[in-house]
Amino acid sequence: MAQGLRPQGDFKAKLLAALAAVALGDALIRGQTGPVGALLLVLPALALITRPALRHDRRAWPWLGLAMAMALALLWRPGPIAWCVYWTYLGIGALMPTVARPGDAWQWMQRLAQLGVRASVAPVLDLQRLFRVRARRGVPALGDLVARLALPVIGSAVIVALFSAANPVIEAWLGRLLNPPWTQDWGSRLTLWLVLFTLVWGVLRPRILLRIYGTCVDYGTTALPGVSVASVFTSLITFNALFALQNAMDLAWLWGLVPLPQGMTLAAYAHRGAYPLIVTALLAAAFVLVALRPGSATAAHTPIRWLVVVWIMQNVLLVASAALRTLDYVAAYSLTAWRIAALLWMALVALGLVLVCWRMIRGNSASWLINANAAAALALVSGCCWVDLDEIAARYNIDHARELGGSGPPLDICYLQQSGASALLPAVELERRRAPEAIHLWAQILRQNAQAALARDQAGALWSLQGALRARALPPSVQHSPMAAITAGCEIRDVHTLRAIVGLDRDRGGLPSAAPLTIPARP
H/E element holding 22?
A: helix 10-29
In a domain, 493, yes or no: yes
In a domain, 497, yes or no: yes
Rounded-to-10 torsion of CA 345, 348, 354, 355? -130
**Domain final position from 191, 217, 243:** 217
DSSP secondary structure string, 69-125?
HHHHHHHHS--HHHHHHHHHHHHHHHHGGG-SS---HHHHHHHHHHHHHHHTTHHHH
Q: Are residues 205 and 84 in the same domain?
A: yes
Q: Are residues 328 and 397 in the same domain?
A: no
Q: Are residues 421 and 329 in the same domain?
A: no
In a domain, 35, yes or no: yes
In a domain, 381, yes or no: no
**Domain final position from 163, 185, 217:** 217
In a domain, 382, yes or no: no
In a domain, 478, yes or no: yes
Please tell me the predicted confidence (pLDDT) of residue 269. Answer: 67
Q: Are residues 57 and 170 in the same domain?
A: yes
Q: Are residues 341 and 449 in the same domain?
A: no
- For residue 140, the 8-state DSSP code is P
Q: Are residues 92 and 168 in the same domain?
A: yes
Q: Any long-range contacts for 282-289 (C-beta under 8 Å, 24+ apart)?
A: 282/349, 284/239, 284/311, 284/312, 284/315, 284/353, 285/315, 285/352, 285/353, 285/356, 287/235, 288/312, 288/356, 288/357, 288/360, 289/356, 289/366, 289/369
Q: Are residues 292 and 334 in the same domain?
A: yes
In a domain, 515, yes or no: no
**Domain final position from 169, 190, 217:** 217
Note whether 254 and 260 are within 8 A (CB). Answer: no
Separation between Cα atoms, residue 512 and residue 412, nearest integer Å: 28
Q: Are residues 156 and 250 in the same domain?
A: no
Q: Are residues 2 and 135 in the same domain?
A: yes
Q: Are residues 345 and 303 in the same domain?
A: yes
- For residue 474, the 8-state DSSP code is S
Per-position pLDDT tens, the chain of length 523: 444 444 334 778 888 888 898 888 888 877 666 677 888 899 999 999 999 888 899 999 999 999 999 999 999 999 899 999 999 999 999 999 888 888 888 888 888 988 888 888 777 777 777 666 655 655 555 556 555 666 676 777 777 776 666 667 666 666 666 665 555 566 677 888 888 888 888 888 887 667 777 766 555 555 666 667 888 888 889 888 988 888 888 777 766 667 767 766 666 666 666 667 778 777 887 878 777 777 777 777 888 888 888 888 888 888 888 888 888 888 888 999 999 998 999 899 899 889 988 888 887 888 888 899 999 999 999 999 999 999 999 999 999 998 888 888 889 999 999 998 999 999 999 988 888 888 888 988 999 889 988 988 888 777 889 999 998 888 887 766 656 778 888 888 778 888 888 874 444 433 333 333 333 333 3
- For residue 139, the 8-state DSSP code is P
Total of domains in the chain: 3
H/E element holding 153?
A: helix 142-166
- Cβ contacts of residue 356 below 8 Å, gap of 6+? 285, 288, 289, 312, 369
Please tell me the predicted confidence (pLDDT) of residue 365. Answer: 81
Please tell me the predicted confidence (pLDDT) of residue 118. Answer: 82
Q: Are residues 148 and 208 in the same domain?
A: yes
Please tell me the predicted confidence (pLDDT) of residue 104. Answer: 84
Please tell me the predicted confidence (pLDDT) of residue 69. Answer: 95
pTM, entire model: 0.79
Q: Are residues 49 and 138 in the same domain?
A: yes
Which domain does 65 fall in, by range?
A: 1-217
Smallest CA-to-CA distance from 404 within 428, 441, 440, 446 is with: 440
In a domain, 385, yes or no: no
Please tell me the predicted confidence (pLDDT) of residue 220. Answer: 52
User: Which residue type does 287 have?
Assistant: F
